Amino acid sequence: MNKALRTAALAAASLATLCFSGAASAAWTFADDTGGASISGAYPSFTITGSDLFDFKDDLATYTQAFTSAQAVTFAWNYVSEDCCGSAWDPAGYILNGVQHQLSVNGPAGQGSAGVATVDVGAGDVFGWYVESLDSEQGPGILSVSVVPEPASVALLLAGVGALAFAARRRAKG
């Protein structure tokens, strides 16, 4: 691969990072108040697994960040629990300024729920996702999230990649 194409590829990767509205993964914080939960992946695509310690304690696992500017956050989510009563004992959803908004649908063990949601987040708001384990037994709740880039950011990405490809082609010819 020539130098111009390598540069174009690196620039495209940088532009792709910009699609996620300044919500860089370094700013996100995972917190677990009893130590029984875990997270895999990182913003913009991750999975929070709730506690399964069999300790009959309420455990709250969160993945949050304080936003410096107002924006709409759109995300696809998928939830499942193997607990006997499903999300009745392991609810999951998003959290905004300390208030939990349950997305998971109460149902029997193994029944999942999924969807797409958009949340308007203001400057200074703390936003993120949670899995709560009310009894921490019989299987954890598992919430998978993939943040969808804003349409304007996707348009910017495509315009930037097109400009880089044009520049690389002109450089290769000349």
pLDDT along the chain (174 residues), means of 10: 45 43 68 92 96 82 96 96 81 97 85 94 97 84 92 49 54 64
pLDDT score, position 97: 98
Q: How far is CA 148 from CA 72, 116, 165, in A?
A: 10, 9, 25
Q: What are phi and psi of 140, to 5 degrees?
A: -85, 160
What confidence score (pLDDT) does residue 155 get? 44
- pLDDT at position 57 is 76
* Cis geometry, peptide bond prior to residue 149 (ω within 30 degrees of 0): no
pLDDT at residue 104, rounded to an integer: 93
The predicted structure's pLDDT at residue 118: 97
Q: pLDDT value at position 20?
A: 45
Q: How many other CB atoms sit within 10 Å of the CB of residue 147? A: 18
